[in-house]
Amino acid sequence: MLIRFASTHAPWLTGLGTLSAYGMLIIVASTDLRSSLPKKVWLWLHLLSYPVFVMAWIHGFFQGTDTQAPAVRWMYVLTAACVAALTAARIRSGTRLRAAVERARPHLSSRP
Between CA 84 and CA 89, with CA 86 as vertex, the angle to 5 degrees is 110
pLDDT in tens, the chain (112 residues): 556 666 777 888 888 999 999 999 999 999 889 899 998 888 889 889 999 999 999 999 999 889 899 999 999 999 999 999 999 998 888 777 677 667 766 665 555 5
- State the pTM of this model: 0.76
Using CA atoms, how far apart are residues 54 and 84, in angstroms rounded to an integer?
10
- pLDDT in the model for residue 111: 52
- pLDDT in the model for residue 3: 64
- pLDDT in the model for residue 105: 67
What number of other Cβ atoms are within 10 A of residue 98's Cβ?
10
Using CA atoms, how far apart are residues 71 and 66, in angstroms rounded to an integer?
9
What residues does each domain of the chain span?
1-59, 65-112
